């Protein structure tokens, strides 16, 4: 049964503990469609997407969810218009600058995953500084996937394994996991996609082998603490078999 009204976070916190739900990954899809349906510029959709992420972070903190990984910019997103790509870069830069105090105040630990070498020097420096400034925080672990693609991640992992001279007989699933961008965190328990599309779009494909997947029709700017609570309740209903 989906919960329609959340008055207290205690119920959800108890479910999180009961189900050992530690890591939620989200494909934040639908910003552009949300804006288009409201006759608004695309930029407004992306800005509202930032607000949705802020709400989600607060809810994760309230519900006791330890890890949140969000898909912010894929390796394929470079194929969008030059204006939109430039706006997304500026939006990330400005959002980080605006939110760093609140991130620290709320004990959010931030990690950026993806090929950051393709970004401007100023943006790279800000992202690395943000990681360093929040590394000792003890709250929600937020991974922001930026210029991320799972195929690219696996290729880079293989290259590093070869460079390190590891023998073929010593390579196993655990070792490969240790060479991924997400080696510091557990695999996602729940993968949520907003916007109704039935695909995972090159996001955490290795790590999500046994994740429960939930596709929501609502667009990302519409996502809030109630949607997250309902997702947690749906997760409780699932019978995780891990391939068995």
Q: Please identify every residue annotated as catalytic.
A: 29, 77
Instruction: Tell me which residue of 137, 85, 89, 80 sits closest to 111, measured CA to CA.
Output: 137
Q: Which residue matches tokens 């070498």?
A: 117
For the CA atoms of 38, 42, 44, 47, the dihedral, rounded to the nearest 10 degrees, stands at 130
Q: Which residue matches tokens 């995780």?
A: 240
DSSP letter string over 184-196?
TSPPPSEEEE-SS
Alpha helices, H only, 38-149: 42-63, 82-105, 121-134
Number of H-type helices and E-type strands within the chain:
8, 6
- CB-side exposure of 56: number of CA atoms within 13 Å? 28
Q: Which residues contact 28 (CB under 8 A, 6 or more apart)?
A: 49, 52, 53, 70, 71, 72, 194, 220, 223
Q: Which two tokens stand for residue 116?
A: 């950051």
**DSSP β-bridge partners for residue 109:** 141
Write the DSSP symbol of residue 71.
Answer: E
Contact 165, 217 (CB under 8 A): no
């Amino acid at each position: 049964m989906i919960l329609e009204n959340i008055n207290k976070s205690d119920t959800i916190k108890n479910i999180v503990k009961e189900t050992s739900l530690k890591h939620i990954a989200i494909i934040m899809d639908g910003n552009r469609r949300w804006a288009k349906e409201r006759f608004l510029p695309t930029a407004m959709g992306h800005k509202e997407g930032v607000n949705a992420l802020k709400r989600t972070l607060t809810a994760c903190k309230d519900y006791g969810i330890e890890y949140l990984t969000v898909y912010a910019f894929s390796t394929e997103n470079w194929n969008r218009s030059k204006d939109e790509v430039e706006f997304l870069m500026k939006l990330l830069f400005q959002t980080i600058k605006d939110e760093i105090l609140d991130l620290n105040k709320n004990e959010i630990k931030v990690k950026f995953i993806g090929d950051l070498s393709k970004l401007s020097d100023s943006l790279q420096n800000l992202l690395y500084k943000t990681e360093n400034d929040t590394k000792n925080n003890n709250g929600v672990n937020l991974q922001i996937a930026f210029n991320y693609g799972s195929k690219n991640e696996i290729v880079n992992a293989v290259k590093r394994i070869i460079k390190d001279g590891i023998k073929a007989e010593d390579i196993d699933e655990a070792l490969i996991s240790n060479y991924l961008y997400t080696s510091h965190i557990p695999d996602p328990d729940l993968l949520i996609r907003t916007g109704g599309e039935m695909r995972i779009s090159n996001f955490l494909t290795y790590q999500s082998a046994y994740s429960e997947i939930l596709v929501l029709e609502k667009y990302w700017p519409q996502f809030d603490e109630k949607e997250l609570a309902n997702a947690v309740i749906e997760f409780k209903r699932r019978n995780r078999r891990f391939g068995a």
